[in-house]
Amino acid sequence: MNLLRKILNIFHKEPQITESQNTMKYLIVGLGNIGDEYVGTRHNIGFCVVDALAQSINATFADKRYGFVAKGRIKNAEVVIVKPSTYMNLSGNAVRYWMQQEKIPLERILIICDDLSLPFGKLRLRPNGSDAGHNGLKHIASTVGSQQYARLKFGIGNDFPRGGQVDFVLGQFTDEDMKTMDERVALATDAIKTFCLAGINTAMNQFNNK
């Protein structure tokens, strides 16, 4: 019997599982400010995008430490989606906590935020970079100690008079913007899914400046 088992073992090999086949966990963070007065504002487009992402994978947000958190799957990728409740200027506290809590490395984090330098709805993925004056990105970099994290920037335009930047980013989108909002947000969620399944380079090639 032992000889038969040895013979069978020779012909039976365990399947080799590559890293790409393993379940990978990603932290997806949409930046914004909590509170009714900020709902629907340009600075909160990160919240809007991750709301759409969570809905598309049937994930539900729950009020947790440092933010509202939803968990789900995008095919073979596990995702932890966070909307920080720290307000924009302290976003790094939520990012660092959920990185540590879920044991997710920096290379599997994606931050979604607004960008004044891009026309409304334009997307730009980057694997790293400076904060470009964005207070949320600035605090994340200082808190995690690195700028080597991916970010998806959603253009909000810059049609404001000199000195009017704060009012603009905290203002509501125009009726013209809203005509294509659903389409642009859906494109952003597709970019996030591609980032999780195929990596930052593929996602950049497919979605940058679309």
Query: Does the structure show a pLDDT above 90 at 9?
Result: no
**Among 12, 43, 134, 139, the one annotated catalytic:** 43
Pairwise CA distance, residues 210 & 206, whole Å = 8
pLDDT the model gives residue 163: 87
Mean pLDDT of the chain: 90
CATH number at residue 148: 3.40.50.1470
Give the pLDDT band of residue 44 (cuts 50, 70, 90): very high
pLDDT tens-digit profile of 152-206?
Answer: 999 999 988 888 999 999 999 999 999 999 999 999 999 999 999 999 999 999 9
Residue type, 88: M
pLDDT given for residue 10 in this prediction: 40
Q: Judging by DSSP bridges, how do beta strands 67-74 and 62-64 pair with one another?
A: antiparallel
Decide if 13 is inside a domain: no
Residue 8 has pLDDT above 70, yes or no: no
- Domain residues for the domain of 155 are 23-207
Cβ 42 vs Cβ 173: under 8 Å: yes
55-58 contact pairs (CB < 8 A, 24+): 56/189
Say if 56 falls within a structural domain: yes
Total domains, the chain: 1
Catalytic status, residue 139:
no
Q: Is residue 142 part of a domain?
A: yes
Half-sphere exposure of 58 (CA within 13 A, CB side): 1
pLDDT band at 92 (very low <50, low <70, confident <90, very high): very high
Task: Classify 31 as helix, strand or coil.
Answer: coil
